[in-house]
Amino acid sequence: MKTISIGDTHGLDVLTTINNIVYKYDKVIFVGDYVDSFYIDDVVIRQNLLDIIEFKRANPDKVVLLLGNHDVQYLLGYAKHGCSGYRPSMTYYLHSIFKDNIKLFQLAYQIKDTIWTHAGIHEGWYRFRFKPFTEEFPELTLAEQLNIAFSREYDAIFDVGYRRGGMYDIGGPLWCDANELKSSPVRGYNQIVGHTHIDYIQKMNLHNKELTFIDVLPHRENTEVELAETLFYYTER
Protein backbone atom coordinates (compact mmCIF):
# COMPACT_ATOMS: atom_id res chain seq x y z
CA MET A 1 0.00 0.00 0.00
CA LYS A 2 1.44 3.35 -1.06
CA THR A 3 1.02 6.14 1.48
CA ILE A 4 1.79 9.83 1.60
CA SER A 5 2.00 11.51 5.01
CA ILE A 6 1.58 15.26 5.55
CA GLY A 7 3.05 17.01 8.57
CA ASP A 8 1.47 19.77 10.66
CA THR A 9 -0.18 22.22 8.25
CA HIS A 10 -0.98 25.05 10.72
CA GLY A 11 -3.18 26.89 8.23
CA LEU A 12 -1.10 26.29 5.12
CA ASP A 13 -2.64 25.47 1.75
CA VAL A 14 -1.37 21.95 1.09
CA LEU A 15 -4.12 20.77 -1.23
CA THR A 16 -2.83 22.71 -4.23
CA THR A 17 0.15 20.36 -4.23
CA ILE A 18 -1.60 17.21 -3.01
CA ASN A 19 -4.38 17.34 -5.61
CA ASN A 20 -1.72 16.97 -8.31
CA ILE A 21 -0.27 13.78 -6.86
CA VAL A 22 -3.10 12.14 -4.90
CA TYR A 23 -3.81 9.63 -7.68
CA LYS A 24 -0.44 7.98 -7.03
CA TYR A 25 -1.30 6.86 -3.51
CA ASP A 26 -3.63 4.47 -1.71
CA LYS A 27 -3.70 6.54 1.48
CA VAL A 28 -3.17 10.25 2.22
CA ILE A 29 -2.51 10.68 5.94
CA PHE A 30 -2.51 14.03 7.74
CA VAL A 31 -0.92 13.91 11.21
CA GLY A 32 -2.92 16.81 12.66
CA ASP A 33 -2.45 20.44 13.75
CA TYR A 34 -4.45 22.10 11.00
CA VAL A 35 -4.84 25.37 12.92
CA ASP A 36 -2.90 28.07 14.81
CA SER A 37 -0.19 30.11 13.17
CA PHE A 38 1.75 33.25 13.99
CA TYR A 39 1.80 34.23 10.31
CA ILE A 40 -1.48 33.20 8.65
CA ASP A 41 -4.71 35.09 9.31
CA ASP A 42 -7.93 33.63 10.72
CA VAL A 43 -9.86 33.55 7.45
CA VAL A 44 -7.16 31.60 5.61
CA ILE A 45 -6.69 29.12 8.47
CA ARG A 46 -10.42 28.46 8.63
CA GLN A 47 -10.80 28.05 4.88
CA ASN A 48 -7.83 25.71 4.54
CA LEU A 49 -9.23 23.54 7.34
CA LEU A 50 -12.61 23.41 5.63
CA ASP A 51 -10.91 22.50 2.35
CA ILE A 52 -9.10 19.60 4.01
CA ILE A 53 -12.38 18.39 5.48
CA GLU A 54 -14.03 18.53 2.05
CA PHE A 55 -11.05 16.66 0.61
CA LYS A 56 -11.72 13.91 3.17
CA ARG A 57 -15.42 13.86 2.29
CA ALA A 58 -14.60 13.53 -1.41
CA ASN A 59 -12.10 10.70 -0.69
CA PRO A 60 -13.45 8.98 2.43
CA ASP A 61 -11.51 5.74 2.07
CA LYS A 62 -8.26 7.29 0.89
CA VAL A 63 -7.80 10.26 3.24
CA VAL A 64 -7.01 9.89 6.95
CA LEU A 65 -7.30 12.93 9.21
CA LEU A 66 -5.55 12.63 12.57
CA LEU A 67 -6.00 15.11 15.39
CA GLY A 68 -3.18 17.16 16.88
CA ASN A 69 -2.90 18.98 20.20
CA HIS A 70 -3.72 22.32 18.55
CA ASP A 71 -6.94 20.89 17.14
CA VAL A 72 -7.99 19.23 20.38
CA GLN A 73 -7.73 22.49 22.34
CA TYR A 74 -10.58 23.89 20.23
CA LEU A 75 -12.55 20.66 20.22
CA LEU A 76 -12.40 19.96 23.97
CA GLY A 77 -11.43 23.28 25.52
CA TYR A 78 -8.33 25.43 25.99
CA ALA A 79 -8.23 25.20 29.78
CA LYS A 80 -7.21 21.53 29.64
CA HIS A 81 -5.41 21.41 26.31
CA GLY A 82 -3.94 24.87 25.74
CA CYS A 83 -1.22 25.42 23.13
CA SER A 84 0.92 28.33 22.00
CA GLY A 85 -0.67 30.31 19.20
CA TYR A 86 -4.19 29.82 20.55
CA ARG A 87 -6.63 32.29 19.01
CA PRO A 88 -9.58 33.28 21.19
CA SER A 89 -11.17 34.94 18.18
CA MET A 90 -11.38 31.52 16.48
CA THR A 91 -12.65 29.50 19.44
CA TYR A 92 -16.31 29.38 18.46
CA TYR A 93 -15.72 28.75 14.76
CA LEU A 94 -13.06 26.08 15.16
CA HIS A 95 -14.91 24.31 17.96
CA SER A 96 -17.98 24.12 15.74
CA ILE A 97 -15.99 22.86 12.74
CA PHE A 98 -14.22 20.10 14.68
CA LYS A 99 -17.32 19.10 16.64
CA ASP A 100 -19.58 18.97 13.57
CA ASN A 101 -17.03 16.89 11.65
CA ILE A 102 -15.57 14.80 14.46
CA LYS A 103 -16.48 11.51 12.74
CA LEU A 104 -14.01 12.40 9.99
CA PHE A 105 -11.10 12.64 12.44
CA GLN A 106 -9.27 10.09 14.56
CA LEU A 107 -6.35 9.93 16.97
CA ALA A 108 -4.33 7.12 15.37
CA TYR A 109 -4.06 5.09 12.18
CA GLN A 110 -2.30 1.79 11.63
CA ILE A 111 -1.20 -0.42 8.74
CA LYS A 112 0.29 -3.70 9.99
CA ASP A 113 3.16 -2.69 12.34
CA THR A 114 3.28 0.97 11.26
CA ILE A 115 1.32 3.49 13.31
CA TRP A 116 0.65 7.17 12.73
CA THR A 117 -0.16 9.58 15.58
CA HIS A 118 0.36 13.29 15.97
CA ALA A 119 3.22 13.20 18.49
CA GLY A 120 4.15 9.55 18.98
CA ILE A 121 3.84 6.75 21.52
CA HIS A 122 6.51 6.37 24.17
CA GLU A 123 7.20 2.96 25.69
CA GLY A 124 7.02 4.27 29.25
CA TRP A 125 3.77 6.14 28.61
CA TYR A 126 2.28 3.04 27.01
CA ARG A 127 3.37 0.70 29.79
CA PHE A 128 2.51 2.81 32.82
CA ARG A 129 -0.27 5.13 31.61
CA PHE A 130 -2.10 3.38 28.79
CA LYS A 131 -1.68 -0.39 29.09
CA PRO A 132 -4.42 -0.73 31.76
CA PHE A 133 -6.88 0.67 29.23
CA THR A 134 -5.78 -1.75 26.50
CA GLU A 135 -6.60 -4.76 28.67
CA GLU A 136 -10.28 -4.03 28.08
CA PHE A 137 -9.79 -4.49 24.32
CA PRO A 138 -7.07 -7.14 23.84
CA GLU A 139 -8.36 -8.12 20.40
CA LEU A 140 -8.01 -4.63 18.91
CA THR A 141 -5.00 -3.00 17.27
CA LEU A 142 -3.11 -0.31 19.14
CA ALA A 143 -4.58 2.37 16.86
CA GLU A 144 -8.10 1.12 17.53
CA GLN A 145 -7.44 1.15 21.28
CA LEU A 146 -6.13 4.73 21.07
CA ASN A 147 -9.15 5.88 19.08
CA ILE A 148 -11.56 4.40 21.61
CA ALA A 149 -9.60 5.96 24.46
CA PHE A 150 -9.82 9.36 22.81
CA SER A 151 -13.55 9.01 22.22
CA ARG A 152 -13.91 8.33 25.95
CA GLU A 153 -11.54 11.20 26.85
CA TYR A 154 -9.31 8.81 28.77
CA ASP A 155 -7.03 11.06 30.83
CA ALA A 156 -3.69 9.56 29.80
CA ILE A 157 -4.28 10.44 26.14
CA PHE A 158 -3.90 14.11 27.05
CA ASP A 159 -0.75 13.83 29.19
CA VAL A 160 1.70 16.71 28.71
CA GLY A 161 5.31 16.04 29.67
CA TYR A 162 7.73 18.34 31.48
CA ARG A 163 9.45 19.26 28.23
CA ARG A 164 6.21 20.81 26.99
CA GLY A 165 5.29 22.50 30.26
CA GLY A 166 3.16 19.71 31.69
CA MET A 167 3.18 17.66 34.89
CA TYR A 168 4.08 14.21 33.55
CA ASP A 169 7.42 12.56 32.86
CA ILE A 170 6.32 11.77 29.31
CA GLY A 171 3.63 13.19 27.05
CA GLY A 172 0.88 11.15 25.43
CA PRO A 173 0.30 10.74 21.67
CA LEU A 174 -0.89 14.35 21.31
CA TRP A 175 2.01 15.92 23.22
CA CYS A 176 5.04 13.62 23.26
CA ASP A 177 8.16 15.66 22.51
CA ALA A 178 10.61 14.34 19.91
CA ASN A 179 13.38 14.03 22.51
CA GLU A 180 11.07 12.03 24.75
CA LEU A 181 10.08 9.77 21.88
CA LYS A 182 13.64 9.18 20.71
CA SER A 183 14.61 7.97 24.17
CA SER A 184 12.21 5.00 24.10
CA PRO A 185 9.52 4.61 21.41
CA VAL A 186 6.90 1.94 22.03
CA ARG A 187 8.32 -1.44 21.09
CA GLY A 188 7.19 -3.40 18.06
CA TYR A 189 5.99 -0.54 15.84
CA ASN A 190 7.27 1.76 13.13
CA GLN A 191 6.03 5.26 13.94
CA ILE A 192 5.37 8.30 11.75
CA VAL A 193 4.76 11.51 13.69
CA GLY A 194 4.63 15.29 13.47
CA HIS A 195 4.36 17.75 16.41
CA THR A 196 8.02 18.71 16.83
CA HIS A 197 9.06 21.06 14.02
CA ILE A 198 12.28 20.18 12.20
CA ASP A 199 14.00 21.42 9.05
CA TYR A 200 13.87 18.18 7.11
CA ILE A 201 12.27 14.74 7.38
CA GLN A 202 14.24 12.61 9.81
CA LYS A 203 14.22 8.83 10.04
CA MET A 204 16.02 6.68 12.58
CA ASN A 205 16.15 2.99 13.44
CA LEU A 206 15.49 2.01 17.04
CA HIS A 207 14.88 -1.52 18.33
CA ASN A 208 14.70 -2.80 14.71
CA LYS A 209 11.86 -0.38 13.88
CA GLU A 210 11.72 2.99 12.13
CA LEU A 211 10.86 6.29 13.78
CA THR A 212 10.11 9.08 11.31
CA PHE A 213 9.51 12.78 12.05
CA ILE A 214 7.64 14.71 9.34
CA ASP A 215 6.74 18.13 10.79
CA VAL A 216 8.71 20.03 8.15
CA LEU A 217 6.19 22.38 6.52
CA PRO A 218 7.27 26.07 6.54
CA HIS A 219 5.63 27.51 9.66
CA ARG A 220 7.64 30.72 9.82
CA GLU A 221 8.28 31.90 6.29
CA ASN A 222 7.29 31.37 2.67
CA THR A 223 3.80 30.41 3.82
CA GLU A 224 2.21 31.59 0.58
CA VAL A 225 4.36 29.61 -1.87
CA GLU A 226 3.26 26.32 -3.41
CA LEU A 227 4.69 23.50 -1.32
CA ALA A 228 7.20 21.09 -2.82
CA GLU A 229 6.39 17.38 -2.92
CA THR A 230 9.63 16.73 -1.04
CA LEU A 231 8.01 18.15 2.09
CA PHE A 232 5.71 15.11 2.27
CA TYR A 233 6.74 11.63 3.35
CA TYR A 234 6.22 8.63 1.06
CA THR A 235 6.11 4.98 2.11
CA GLU A 236 4.98 1.65 0.79
CA ARG A 237 3.67 -0.78 3.41
Phi, psi (5° rounding) for residue 49? Answer: -65, -45
- pLDDT for the residue numbered 48: 95
Q: With 70 as the cut, is the pLDDT of residue 221 above it? A: no
Q: Are strands 109-111 and 114-116 parallel, antiparallel or unpaired?
A: antiparallel
Torsion angle (degrees, nearest 10) of CA 122, 125, 131, 132: -170
| Cα-based distances in Å from 152 to 141, 149, 156 | 17, 5, 11
If you ran DSSP here, which 8-state letter would residue 186 be given? P
CATH code at 177? 3.60.21
- pLDDT for the residue numbered 220: 58
Q: With 70 as the cut, is the pLDDT of residue 144 above it? A: yes
Q: With 60 as the cut, is the pLDDT of residue 119 above it? A: yes
- pLDDT for the residue numbered 217: 92
Q: State the Cα–Cα distance between residues 93 and 222, nearest whole angstrom.
A: 26
Domain range holding 73?
2-236
- pLDDT for the residue numbered 165: 86
pLDDT digits (tens, 9 = 90+) for 149-190: 999 999 999 999 998 988 999 999 999 999 999 999 999 999
Total number of domains constituting the chain: 1
